[in-house]
Amino acid sequence: MKSSVVSPFRVGLPQISIPADPRHSLVKAEEFVRQAARLGAQVICLPELFRSPYFCQQEDPEFFTWAESIPGPATEALGQVAREEQVVILASLFERRGPGVYHNTLAVIDADGTVLGLYRKMHIPDDPGYYEKYFFAPGDTGFKNFDTRFGRIGGLVCWDQWYPEAARLTALHGAVALFYPTAIGWHPEEKAQFGVEQQDAWITVQRGHAVANGIYVAVVNRIGHELPPGGGPGIEFWGNSFVAGPMGELLCRASADKEEILLAEIDPARLETVRQHWPFFRDRRIDAYAGITSRYLGD
Amino acid sequence: MKSSVVSPFRVGLPQISIPADPRHSLVKAEEFVRQAARLGAQVICLPELFRSPYFCQQEDPEFFTWAESIPGPATEALGQVAREEQVVILASLFERRGPGVYHNTLAVIDADGTVLGLYRKMHIPDDPGYYEKYFFAPGDTGFKNFDTRFGRIGGLVCWDQWYPEAARLTALHGAVALFYPTAIGWHPEEKAQFGVEQQDAWITVQRGHAVANGIYVAVVNRIGHELPPGGGPGIEFWGNSFVAGPMGELLCRASADKEEILLAEIDPARLETVRQHWPFFRDRRIDAYAGITSRYLGD
């Protein structure tokens, strides 16, 4: 399918805190989507796993009850909002795909309310407080684009944001913007010493994807200090949602601790201009990249 | 070959202006290398094509007379300096490999003065003022590491710095640092409008490589406004040589217009710690990256 230069569209990123009771989170998300739509947003991306507290802080099988099928309650409710508001919605969900098969899944809902497709998170983290390998099978969708009503976009999820391969492969499909719903924060005991450096690395690597691919990058994180039921210091989600332009320039950036809706314009014509002036795609040495599929080359 | 954690070593980056007369440039480079060595540098990287003005500003076959064989005059002279000072030298040269076969080549000279190996620039740019496709055949070395006396390092050149694939493949070989000799600057007529954004993109994408690979990145650029003999506004080389640590943090950064020698410590133990805490290499989806060898996936 050819992707020709299309019209600009407006992105909305609701940076929100997540209610402790999962019964309230969908209603809250719907309200923020409608508010973003009223502000002119056309493609709205919610934070990662917005339907519940970040349960991956501990390995407890109880949390599997929070998974849902897709299509399911969330995509039905949000599909109706999408149709009513005529907006595209990117919804990051805890998917029960089949018996014992769970994924961290991004559902892309088009502006007519239909589920356009799914991206199942390919890179699954596992480190203290982020025990995602326990809950989620690695995605098998590969890196995808979605032809929404407003333009061709790429959807990725959180840990993917550290992987240049994920950004490149998604960009090579012709997307004009990469979306990253995210749940990242500080370990409270590390924040003072490493907090600034960690957050700067997170922003930098993603701005780097924007530069290397001449593409818009839209990142939406949650806020709030969430304590796991089993005890422990919890995670202080660091907000700082942002949108970068195709030269890596920050178009907007949210606070660390406030609920807000970021808005930014995605202009496919600007992307084309940037790529004409910095023609990185032209000079890729595709004859020499096969080693990328190796785990390590230094043995 | 196994790369185990080795001792820290000190990098030196002489950011210099290049004499208009190529007969003087080698002597100047030698002086700066010796000065860096006296300051404690052990691995010293000179800017891209330091032996002459940046001749790629125009397509003139006269400049092919500036090419040299490797080993040749430059590697012999610098080999002697390396041996005397007991330092590793990375020398970016205009190589005449054979009749009509020219490359933009990085020669890595070990601390005993021998040429340890060559990296021939894989990504060749071509845009107004940087007509490198006219002068240089694309490298056929692939992405390489060099086991120097002080540690395993990766060598890349300028335009490579925009390519995450180049950084990744070089890092996967086990290097603790990526070196990028560079010749990049502003078109004087663009500087006011785009200068800040361009330079920021250049720094950001390379800091991004440091983050994504948990690796040190050392970049050395030239300074000075060079006018092409055929006339025209020339290029204002923007300096800003820098070294980033394995979380992308800037360890040092030079001015835009002054000659100086940047010094930084490369600590393989820190690199290992960073990679243990942010284990990006562990989770790479090598089963899903084959598309990286495609030119485009959006048709």
Instruction: Dump pLDDT digits (tens) for B29-72.
Output: 999 999 999 999 999 999 999 999 999 999 999 999 999 999 99
Question: Among A172, A279, A299, whose Cβ lies nearest the Cβ of B297?
Answer: A172
Of the candidates A121, A132, A226, A236, the residue annotated as catalytic is: A121
Of B178, B176, B142, the C-alpha closest to B158 is B178
Q: pLDDT tens across B135-190, in order?
A: 999 999 999 999 999 999 999 999 999 999 999 999 999 999 999 999 999 999 99
Is A299 part of a structural domain of the chain? no
Place of tokens 């982020």: A130
Token couple for A154: 């790429």
Note down the domain range covering B26. 9-280
Q: B6: number of CA atoms within 13 Å, CB side? A: 18
Distance CA A21, CA A40 (A): 30
Would the CB atoms of A209 and B208 count as touching at under 8 Å? yes
pLDDT at A1: 46
Query: Are B289 and A152 an interchain contact pair (Cβ–Cβ within 8 Å)?
Result: no
Q: Are A40 and A263 in contact (CB under 8 A)?
A: yes
For the cut 60, the answer to whether the pLDDT of residue A3 exceeds it is no
Q: Which of B146, B209, B284 is best to mutate for the A interface (most A CBs within 10 A)?
A: B284
Among the listed residues A126, A129, A135, the one whose alpha carbon sits nearest the alpha carbon of residue A94: A135
The answer, yes or no, to whether residue B108 has pLDDT greater than 70, is yes
Would you say B96 and B68 are in contact if contact means Cβ atoms under 8 Å apart? yes
Residues above pLDDT 70, as percent of chain B:
98
Q: What is the pLDDT of residues A151-202, one digit of tens each?
A: 999 999 999 999 999 999 999 999 999 999 999 999 999 999 999 999 999 9
- What span, in angstroms and rounded, lies between the C-alpha atoms of B125 and B127? 6
Check: CB of residue A13 under 8 Å from CB of residue A87.
Answer: no
Domain presence at residue B293: no
Interchain CB contact of B189 with A (< 8 Å): no
Tokens of A28: 């809250």
Q: How many CA atoms lie within 13 A of B113 on its CB side?
A: 10
- B271-291 average pLDDT score: 98
In a domain, A3, yes or no: no
CA distance B52 to chain A (A): 25
- B284·A198 Cβ contact <8 A: no
Is A285 in Cβ contact with B123 (below 8 Å)? Answer: yes
Helix axes B188-213, A164-172, angle to 10 degrees: 120
Option in A2, A204, A293 nearest B211 (CB): A204
* Cβ neighbours of B286 in A, within 8 Å: 292-295
pLDDT attached to residue B1: 46
Given this model, what pLDDT does residue A4 score? 62
* DSSP character string of chain A: --------EEEEEEE-B--SSHHHHHHHHHHHHHHHHHTT-SEEEPPTTTTSS-GGGS--GGGGGG-B-SSSHHHHHHHHHHHHHT-EEEEEEEEEEETTEEEEEEEEE-TTS-EEEEEE-SS---BTTB-HHHH-PPP-S-S-EEE-SS-EEEE--GGGGG-HHHHHHHHHTT-SEEEEE---EE-HHHHHHHHHHHHHHHHHHHHHHHHHHT-EEEEE--EEEE--TT-S--EEEE---EEE-TTS-EEEE--SS--EEEEEEE-HHHHHHHHHHS-TTTT--GGG-GGGGSS-S--
Residue B54 lies in a domain: yes
Tell whether B170 is covered by a domain: yes
Q: Flag if B211 and A208 touch (Cβ within 8 Å).
A: yes
- Best probe of the B interface among A131, A211, A294, by most B CBs < 10 A, is A211
First to last CA, chain B: 41
Residues 209-238 of B with CB under 8 A from A: 209, 211-212
The structure tokens 């700082």 sit at: A240
- What pLDDT, on a 0 to 100 scale, did the predictor assign at position A238? 98
Active site residues of B: 48, 121, 158
A220 belongs to a structural domain: yes
Residues of A in contact with B1 (CB under 8 A): 298-299
**CATH number of the domain bearing residue B208:** 3.60.110.10
Residue A289 covered by a domain: no
Give the largest Cα separation in chain B, rounded.
57
Between A130 and B22, residue with greater pLDDT: A130
Of the residues A28, A30, A48, A236, only one is catalytic, namely A48
Of the residues B283, B286, B287, B295, the best mutation for testing chain A's interface (the one with the most A CB atoms within 10 Å of its CB) is B283
**Omega before residue B71 within 30° of 0, cis:** yes
- How confident is the model at residue B22, as a pLDDT? 87
Q: Is the pLDDT of residue B86 over 80?
A: yes
Residue B124's closest chain A neighbor by CA?
Answer: A283
Residue B124 zone, left/alpha/beta (φ > 0; ψ -120 to 50; rest): beta
- B140: tokens are 């056929």
- Based on the structure, what is the number of domains in chain A? 1
pLDDT band at B6 (very low <50, low <70, confident <90, very high): confident
In this structure, is residue A1 part of a structural domain?
no
Which residue in B205, B277, B296 is closest to A212 by CB distance? B205
Q: What pLDDT is attached to residue A259?
A: 98
Distance, CA of B208 to CA of A167 (rounded, Å)? 12
pLDDT per residue as tens digits for the range A82-102: 999 999 999 999 999 999 999
pLDDT of A2 above 70: no
Residues 105 through 124 of chain A touching chain B, CB cutoff 8 Å: 122-124
**Contact residues, chain B, for A288 at CB < 8 Å:** 122, 142-143, 169
Whether chain A has a CB inside 8 Å of the CB on B294: the answer is yes
In this prediction, residue B5 has a pLDDT band, given cuts at 50, 70 and 90, of low
**Alpha-carbon gap: A128 to the closest alpha carbon of chain B (Å):** 9
d(CA A257, CA A239): 6
pLDDT in tens, A201-255: 999 999 999 999 999 999 999 999 999 998 999 999 999 999 999 999 999 999 9
User: pTM of the entire structure?
Assistant: 0.97
